[in-house]
A and B are shown apart, each in its own frame.
Chain A
């Protein structure tokens, strides 16, 4: 863990000390503790691994739990904590050392299996018409460490029918430059600043609209140092991408209760960035309330995604090497994808084990990548 500055602990301490020092209001009992245990299994396969120059297996499995804890006080403070672990098995990462570093010498393949841990802490103060919150977090894995901090707030008006929300979030990442032969060439930095502004409008008692503008400004080492690019003459180089990226998105979301038992969630997003990627996303989720005791919802969903690729992308053997930037990472290519699946959520509305949910999805990308995600969660209220 490399906290290169004291920023994380400082913000964390400030957050909680500030919370305790604020004058408390006698509003009654604390609203209590909620604990959620979530877990997910994810598996994918494809034939365009960037690690082996755009051709080769993308097989990957990931499994891991997340614990979410939320405590709300009588003084309208909400404290959140999140702890997640993830175990990743990647066939493509094992190919970093595909070529022997020297005759008969095969470098370590420790990256075939990786573990990731992430921790996030947050506090939010609710006021009559405003909320103000802050978060800090850490994420660490084999070759990547990150600290993050953020502020968010919202303001209600028009009898709480209109809400304006804003957020700012900063990530400071450090990655090990594991090159295409598996050698560690030292560390590199990457910074990301996320800005978000959203307007939520209640249209009537059965309809709510949300519009969100998001900007992400990234700088530093944005290439994956172990991604190969195979040139026309057969030479193999590491991927080269710019050290700056500005990404903009606009999202529209409309949730409509078509009847007391049917809710339609509709989502659309347009995205563009200065690497010349443009994309459109459409999502539909239809929730049906079941006639069982408590709140029980089952929902099928479908998602369509269409992307125009970056000019920095090229298939294997398409670059001469004279270009300033080149990559054979098919995540940057032109493709479309469909995702579909269903979910179920049961809320017993009682103390103790009070809710559980499952969600399954299948993802199919036009370049052959496909994945399955199975996730489930249980929640307790105290």
Chain B
């Protein structure tokens, strides 16, 4: 519960400190490592993790469809 409160407070602080970013100021944000999506090679590992662990979700990974890795 404390951790949850801390996370929500942190997110609130980050969002209230947002500053307007114009399109011509987005050079850094458009760099590959700044993108939210994983690089294609990382997807390979996400796929293994789904089947070698009990968890799924929050990774843009799939949860069905077989894997060839029983």
Interface residues of A (CB under 8 A from B): 36, 38, 40, 42, 44, 51, 60, 62, 66, 68, 86, 88, 90, 92-93, 114-116, 118, 137, 139-141, 144-146, 148, 159-161, 169, 171, 173, 175, 190-192, 194, 196, 200-212, 214-216, 218, 224, 226, 247-255, 257, 260, 263, 265, 269, 271, 273, 275, 277, 279, 281, 285, 287, 295, 297, 299, 305, 307, 309-310, 331-332, 337, 339, 343, 345, 347, 357-359, 361, 363, 365, 369, 371, 373, 375-377
Contacts and interface: CB of A to CB of B under 8 A. Distances in A.
A60 B29 contact: no
Interface of B: 7, 11, 14-15, 17-23, 25-26, 28-29, 31-36, 39-42, 44-45, 48-49, 51-59, 62-70
A249 B55 contact: yes
A216 B41 contact: no
B56 to A, nearest CB: 6
A117 to B, nearest CB: 9
Interface centre among B15, B21, B44, B51 (most CB of A within 10 A): B44
Contacts of A211: 11
B21 A215 contact: no
Contact of B15 (A90, A203, A260, A269): A203
A173 B69 contact: no
Contacts of B11: 209, 211, 252
Contacts of A273: 54-55
B66 A173 contact: yes
A287 B63 contact: no
B24 to A, nearest CB: 10
Majority SS at the chain A contact face: strand
A301 to B, nearest CB: 9
A145 B67 CA distance: 10
B32 A269 contact: no
Contact of B29 (A86, A205, A252, A357): A205
19 contacts: A115-B68, A139-B65, A141-B66, A144-B66, A148-B65, A159-B22, A161-B21, A192-B63, A201-B15, A203-B15, A206-B28, A208-B36, A251-B59, A254-B14, A269-B57, A310-B54, A359-B42, A359-B45, A363-B48
Given A42-B48, A51-B70, A171 B56 contact: no
A339 B65 CA distance: 25
Contacts of B32: 295, 297, 345, 347
B66 to A, nearest CB: 4
B28 A257 contact: yes
B69 to A, nearest CB: 6
B31 A90 contact: no
